[in-house]
Amino acid sequence: MDFSFWKQHLGQVPGEVWEAAGWLETLVLADNDLVELPGRIGTLTRLRMLDLGHNGLTTLPSELGALVDLTDFLYLHDNQLATLPVSLGNLTKLRYLNLSENRFESLPDAVCEMVGLIELRLSDNQLQELPDSISRLSGLRELHLRNNRIGTLPGSIGKLYQLRQLDLRQNPIHFLPDSLVQLPRLEKLDLRWVSTLELPAWLPELEARGCAVYR
């Protein structure tokens, strides 16, 4: 069963959601003026996709980590989040996570526990760096970091061997690790609106291999 309450400005999660806890697989609560999410969200154990984007959430309940069958999408973009509960690290089957347009200054530890991620969106935050543990996301194909405060990347990013797209637009990048040239499947490296970077000597090698470098 799927429920979509998109853009209804409800202010709270409607009661029929809890009544459908045993069979609900898709829940869209985007753009509903939500400022908090009740812990009962953890009872929706059949969910595969959850959309909480375009709300006013400042925190998330730890019970969200009980949704271990969440596989398809978790949209949390355009909220006021600065942290995530550690329990979200339990979502190891999740493939797509959107945390863009929030207030993250550092990447929550829980994200690097989500080892099933294929696409991670973190654009329009206040990130200053990525942790070495980003390498745990070994299946990641797309990493979107546009418009943050990132000055450099960890060398461990070179272990993301499945990475196809890396978006670094509008960051004050001043150094790219040599390990980036080791990424065998990288198809797109976006460096547009990065004025602080002295382009590394290995960049032509990356382009010669077929990677499109935008600068």
The helix (H) or strand (E) run that includes residue 50 is: strand 49-51
Q: CA 73, CA 138: separation in Å to the nearest integer?
A: 18
Residue 136, pLDDT > 90, answer: yes
Q: CA 104, CA 82: separation in Å to the nearest integer?
A: 4
Residue 50, pLDDT > 90, answer: yes
pLDDT score recorded for residue 181: 95
Average pLDDT of the segment spanning 90-112: 98
List the CATH number of the domain containing 183. 3.80.10.10
Please tell me the total count of domains within the chain: 1
Q: Is the dihedral of CA 13, 17, 19, 22 positive or negative?
A: negative
Q: What is the mean pLDDT of the chain?
A: 97
The helix (H) or strand (E) run that includes residue 161 is: none
Q: CA 146, CA 101: separation in Å to the nearest integer?
A: 10
Question: pLDDT tens digits, residue range 104-134?
Answer: 999 999 999 999 999 999 999 999 999 999 9
Q: CA 121, CA 75: separation in Å to the nearest integer?
A: 10
pLDDT score recorded for residue 28: 98
Asked if 1 and 20 touch (Cβ cutoff 8 Å), the reply is yes
DSSP class of residue 43?
G
**Domain boundaries, position 73:** 2-214
pLDDT score recorded for residue 1: 85
